[in-house]
Structure formats: structure tokens, C-alpha cells
A and B are shown apart, each in its own frame.
Chain A
Amino acid sequence: MALLEVENVRRSFGGLVAVDKTTFQVAPGQIKAIIGPNGAGKTTLFNIISGLLRPDSGRVTFHSRPVTGLKPYQIARLGLSRTFQNPSLFLRMNVLENVMVGRHSRSRWGFAGCCLRWPGQPREERNIRDTAMAQLDYVGLAPLAHCPAGALAFGQRRMVELARALATEPTLLLLDEPASGLNTKEKEDLGQLIRKIRDRGVTVLLVEHDMKLVMDLADDIVVLHYGIPIAEGPPSVIQSDPKVISVYLGGEVQADSAGGELSAKWSQSP
């Protein structure tokens, strides 16, 4: 039983078809990666899954529920959380408050209750704070809890965003290029962290350009080219797929010889 099903999704912007004929599934507990050259439609696909964009046709099912047409906040409440390609923290808040926003859908007091500090509301507020702090600790940023979010380095912003996404208690986590802008050490830490997140029961779907990371991490890979999936399978299969090789190395190439070249290329960090 798949956790997420994307069925024949299509989305165009004006005359440009960004995503088309895209069908794949994400099984619970796996780390799945979507790869493809720039402009392949990966982020568009993420935006469709998380509800920021509506597909022109096709459907997305999450936890066996059709979610096409739902607003992002409704999909988030069903247990899907995400990070963005450019870390989008709330820059007027401190690090801890950013993560506390992630607890929004898991808390309930409204305008009146919060104004009046109604019995129960202060306790919920403490709960939000404690849970958020635990998530920050999980990604190793607890010491920075009270820093303004705008003062953080790029890599740290990514981690705060990840903690914020985890604070929503997702069953599926979408990571949009989590490793871009990170140095080698940070990338290694990220890889370990993503595995740790998967091991605690969160399914991960990620878009990533760093092939070494993807090949190390992913159980399963979908390759998009001009918005259309051209291959799907475990890393070893993808590395020797002739269509993938021609997309990444260009032109018509002999599969047997180029396969080795590609896997050699992908085992180094770019």
C-alpha cells in the first residue's frame, strides 16, 4: 500500500509543459529521490504534491485520500511536510519560534483563548516550546534557539527548516534540494540525519542534484527529463539505464561503456 501516489500528473505554464505523464508511488518507510537535469520539473512536481500548485490533470493520493485541489495547509495537516529549495524561514522570528510555527497544526487554541490565556492555553504553549526545542536539539541547533533566524548561516537555515518540518510530525517529508549550498562535511551530516529521520518512521521524498548523496541514500529513484519520467528503480539500475545515461552524458552513447563512466562520475561529489 503506497503512502503517496502520483497518477498521470500534468502541469503547464502558458505553452511550457513543466510536468507531464508523471506517475510514481512512494512506499511507507522508504527514501525516494527525484532526479533530473535543471528544468526537469522536479520543484513543480513538489509544489503540486504539497498543494502549492494545482495540476492541470491527474491526481495525487496521500494516505489513500485524494489531495488534489486541497490547500497546502490542509495537506500539511494530513501529515505531509516540506522544505524549500531556498530556505524560507520567518526572518522576523528567532530560531525557536520558527520551529514552534511547525507545531501549529498540532495545537488548537484560537484568538479568544490566546488573548485570555484561558486555562490550558499556557500549558499548550509550554508544550509547543518544549517539542520545538526537542526538534532543534535533534538537528543539533539547540544552542542557537534564541538567535534571530536572519543571523544564521545558509547551512544552519536548512537545518532549522528541517526541524520546523519535523515539528509538524509528518508521515511524509518532502525535501527540495536539501544539500545544495552545503559543504562536504555538512552533506555527510545531512545524509546521516535523513537516514535517522527515516528510521524513526518518516518516509522521505527528496529532490537532489548531488548524485553521490542520492546514490548513497535513496532506496528508489525517479528520473525526470523535460517533465516526463524516463526511468524508475533502485540506484544500481538507474546508473546503468541507457536513457538516463544519454540524458546526463548527452547524445547517443553505448550503454555498457557509458554506464561505468556515469557511476564513476556519480560516486564523486560534484
Chain B
Amino acid sequence: MTRLRQLLPFALFALAMVATQGLLRALEMEYCLTQLTMALYYAIVVIGLCLVMGYAGQVSLGHGAFFAIGGYTSAVLTTHDFSRFKAAGWAGGLKQLHVFVGQQDLFGNQIMTVSPWAAFFAAMLLTLVVATLIGYPALRLKGHYLAMATLGFGLIVNKTVLGTAAFGAADGINGVPEWTLAPGLTICGKSAARVSNYYIAATLVLALLLLLRNLLHSRVGRALQAIHDRETAANAMGIDTAAYKLRAFVLSALLAALAGVFFTHYTAGIGPSEAGALKSVRYVALAAAGGMANLWGVTVMSTGLNYLSLRGLFGSYDHAVFGVILILIISIAPDGPLKPLGKWMGGLASRLRPEGRREHGAA
């Protein structure tokens, strides 16, 4: 019974996703699914950030950079021509293992690249190493050293990408091939695959939310919250606080990179703005707007606001809008707007009910 009640939000989320698609189809606006799919991938970054900020109590200003590391690793490996290694014995072996695959480049030349799956694992591995190197020293200290370390790190990644020809400099990388996850399930931007890609993204988000919900309702989740509340007491209760903060941060970086890989295959490319500091700040703003330690709030707010931004609603004020959101949230509703809104609606509902049950409003 309680298990069923816990799973109810997940069922509602799935239902909402299906209903959205049905509605857009009925309105002949299915083209909107493209931006919605992208917004769902961005939401994964914010969900990961929610783990670090809302639960472990650390701020990361480098999640745009982890998204970019995932995306660029995939993009470079799946577009770069490795043909010159063809003769080497190890390359033959890797081809046997489908790590290297033959394909045609934009001009129809036969080239040899890394397969999307292999590139995905490479991206995850690289993120794991980089996030550990950044997080290890910063998280052994108390306080907001992680915010500073990740801010600097984000700038380095951004400038490196902009200044490196192999990463396409200011143009980024285009022509990233499609990624076939399973027969019939291909991540690509073709309009014929629009609906299936929307469902791939929605399923991925749903699956990650389920996994994180499990994590947060376990000894690990309690340990992270304990660290956020009172680090000293958490340590005295037997929690290796430094190790837990690091693991939460690395997991969160992996989620950002995962989103980057999917996003890059979906949009067939990635640009340097994804690694920008403003993008990282936007993720923090979205996590705050969703209420930080609130997986559902974060998912809904970040998907919604990013969708509006991708549809161009905020025009040239795009970044400014997210700055204003961050300021408003911090000054007016530090727990995010959803909780006070929910309370207000609850109060309204109890007042409207004829018998006027007051205790609901008081709770």
C-alpha cells in the first residue's frame, strides 16, 4: 500500500508525458516535442544538481562544464576519423569489438570513428576521473570551496573548448551521428523520430528519478541530509562525510555528462556555450526554483522553464531571466515557489469546503 503510494507520482508523471504528446498531436503542434525533449535532457543536469545542493548541501557552479565534457567527448570520438590507425593491430581488435565503426562523413568519405556506445562509456569514465580530481581536494574542507573550484573549472573548460581547433572552437562540433540504443530506438533529430525521442528522454528522466528516489530514501540519502544539516554530528555518528560528499558530487557530475551525451546525439552537435558559466548558473537557478531538495519540483520547474527558453520566449533576455529567477527565489521563497504555492492552495481548498476544516490550513 505505502509502496503503491510512493510510486503514484511516477505514474502521474508518465501519464502527464503521454497526455502532453497527445495534446500536442491534437493541436498539430508536435514540432514542440523537439524543445521539450531537449528540456528533459537539461532537467537531468538539474536533477543531479539537486542531489549535490539539496541533499549534500554543496554548490556546484560547474555542471555546464560536466554536461559539455559528456557532449564533447561523444562528439569528438564519434566524428573524428581514426582511419590512420587502421593498419595497427589494436585498431583491428577494437573494430572487432565494435568500438571502432566505419561510416561516411558529411562529404561522403569513408571514415572510421568510435561507436556511440563506446564514446558514451569513454565520456562517463572521463567525467568520473575529472569530477573526482576536482571534488577530492575541495570537499575535504568545510564550506563552499566546491563552488569556487567548480566555477574555475567551468571557465577552464569553456576557454579550452573555445580555443581548441579539434573541438571546433567557437563553432562547436556538428555532424554527430545518430545513436542506436536498441533496434528501433535511435537518438537523432530526424522529424520522423521526434515522438520516439521524446519518449526516450521522458523514460530516461523517469528511470533516473526512480533510482534517485530509492537512493534518497536509504541510509545513503539520510547520510547526505545529515551532512547538509550538521556535518560534525554526522561525522560523529559514523558517516565518512568527505567520502559521501565526494560520491554525491561525482554521481551528480555523471548525470550531467549523461545528459550531455544524449543531448549531443539528439541535436547532432554541441557548441561552446554549453560549457559557459552562465549555463552553470542557470542550472543552479533552476535547482533553486524547483526547491532544491525536491526531485519533482526540480524536474517540473527545470523542464518547464528550459522549454520556454528553448522556444525563444525570453528572447535576448534569456540569461537575464534566469538571473532574475535566482534572485527572486533566494529573496522571496528560499524553498522554491512550489511548496508555498501548495500550502496556499491547500489553505484555499479547506476554506472553500463548506464544513471549513480549519486544521488543514493550520498544518
Complex partner residue of B221 from A77, A114, A165, CB under 8 angstroms: A114
Please measure, in the bound complex, the distance between the C-alpha atom of A203 and the C-alpha atom of B234, giving whole angstroms: 22
User: B165 contacts the other chain (Cβ, under 8 Å)?
Assistant: no
Q: By the criterion CB–CB under 8 Å, are B214 and A115 in contact?
A: yes
Known A88-B232, A88-B233, A90-B229: A71·B218 in contact at CB below 8 Å: no
Interface residues of A in 74-126 (CB under 8 A from B): 76-77, 81-82, 84, 88-93, 97, 100-105, 107, 109-111, 114-117, 121, 124-125
* CB neighbours of B12 from chain A (8 A): none
Q: Choose one: B215, B225, B226, B228; the contact of A111 (CB below 8 Å).
A: B215
- A72-B235, A97-B222 as given contacts; A92 in contact with B214, CB under 8 Å: no
CB < 8 Å neighbour of B219 from A88, A89, A100? A100
- A164 within 8 Å of B by Cβ? yes
Beta-carbon contact of B238 and A77 below 8 Å: yes
A45 to B238, CA, bound (A): 19
Partner of A125, one of B212, B218, B226, B234: B218
Q: Please, how many angstroms separate the alpha-carbon atoms of A115 and B247 in the complex?
A: 13
Partner of A73, one of B225, B229, B239: B239
Main DSSP-derived SS at the B contact region: helix
**Is B326's CB within 8 Å of the partner chain A?**
no
Given A111-B251, A114-B214, A114-B218, residue A71 in contact with residue B240 (CB < 8 A): yes
B236 at the interface (CB under 8 A from A): yes
A84 to B237, CA, bound (A): 12
Contact pattern, B 226-265, Cβ under 8 Å of A = 1, otherwise 0: 1011101111111111000001000100000000000000
Across the interface, name the chain B residue whose C-beta is closest to A106: B238
Q: Is B284 an interface residue (CB 8 A)?
A: no
Q: Is residue A168 within 8 Å, beta carbon to beta carbon, of the partner chain?
A: yes
Residue of A nearest to B229 (CB): A90
Q: Are A128 and B219 in contact (CB under 8 A)?
A: yes
B221 to chain A, nearest CB (A): 7
The count of A-to-B residue pairs whose CB atoms sit within 8 angstroms is 101
Q: How far is the CA of A72 from the CA of B232 in the complex (A)?
A: 9
Once A93-B229, A100-B219, A107-B219 are accepted as A-B contacts, the answer to whether A168 and B214 lie under 8 Å apart by CB is no
At the interface, yes or no: A52 with Cβ under 8 Å from chain B? yes
Query: Which residues of chain B from 249 to 290 have any CB-CB distance to chain A below 8 Å in the complex?
Result: 251
Contacts of A164 in B (CB 8 A): 237
Q: Let me know if B341 is at the binding interface, CB within 8 A.
A: no
Q: Which residues of B contact A77 (CB under 8 A)?
A: 238
Could you say which residues of chain A place their CB within 8 Å of the CB of B212? 115
Which chain A positions have C-beta within 8 A of B228?
92
Q: How far is the CA of A33 from the CA of B251 in the complex (A)?
A: 45
Interface size on B, as a range, is 20 to 34
Q: Which residues of A contact B211 (CB under 8 A)?
A: 115-116
Pair A115/B236 contact, Cβ less than 8 Å: no
What is the 8 Å Cβ interface bit string for chain B, positions 186-229, against chain A (1 contact, 0 not)?
00000000000000000000000001101101111111011011
Is B301 on the interface with A (CB-CB < 8 A)?
no
Inter-chain CA distance A84–B251, complex, in Å, is 32
Q: Are A114 and B233 in contact (CB under 8 A)?
A: no
A189, chain B: closest CB distance, angstroms: 23
Within the complex, what minimum Cβ distance (angstroms) separates B222 from chain A?
Answer: 5
Give the chain B neighbours of A102 by CB distance below 8 A.
237-238
Best-buried of A52, A73, A164 by chain B (most CB within 10 Å)? A73
**Taking the nearest CB of chain B, how far is it from the CB of A29, in angstroms?**
23
Q: Are B239 and A101 in contact (CB under 8 A)?
A: yes
Q: Is the CB of B238 within 8 A of A73?
A: yes
Contacts of A125 in B (CB 8 A): 217-219
Residues of B within 8 A of A115 (CB): 211-212, 214-215
Contact B222 A101 (CB under 8 A): yes
Give, as a whole number of angstroms, the nearest-CB distance from B228 to chain A: 7
Q: Tell me whether B293 is interfacial, beta carbon within 8 Å.
A: yes
Q: In the bound complex, how far is the Cα of B219 from the Cα of A81, in angstroms?
A: 18
Q: Are B220 and A50 in contact (CB under 8 A)?
A: no
Indicate which residue in A84, A97, A107, A117 contacts B233 across the interface (CB closer than 8 Å): A84
A90 with B233: in contact, given A101-B223, A101-B226 (CB under 8 Å)? Answer: yes
**In the complex, chain B residues whose CB is within 8 Å of the CB of A124:** 219
Q: How far is the CA of A121 from the CA of B220 in the complex (A)?
A: 11
Would you call B229 and A50 a contact (CB within 8 A)? no
Query: What is the minimal beta-carbon distance from A203 to any residue of chain B, in angstroms?
Result: 17
Q: Is the CB of A52 within 8 A of B220?
A: no
- For B218, list chain A residues within 8 Å (CB): 109, 114, 121, 125
Residue of chain A at shortest CB distance from B218: A114
Decide: A104 near B215, CB < 8 A? Known: A90-B225, A97-B222.
Answer: no
CB distance from A108 to the nearest CB of B (A): 9
Assuming the contacts A104-B223, A111-B220, A114-B215, asked whether A52 and B232 have C-beta atoms less than 8 A apart, the reply is yes
Other than A73-B239, A110-B220, give 15 A-B pairs with Cβ distance below 8 A.
A72-B232, A73-B235, A73-B238, A76-B238, A81-B236, A88-B232, A90-B230, A90-B233, A92-B293, A93-B225, A101-B234, A104-B239, A111-B247, A114-B215, A125-B219
10 cross-chain CB contacts under 8 A: A72-B232, A73-B238, A76-B235, A93-B229, A101-B226, A104-B222, A105-B237, A105-B239, A114-B214, A114-B219
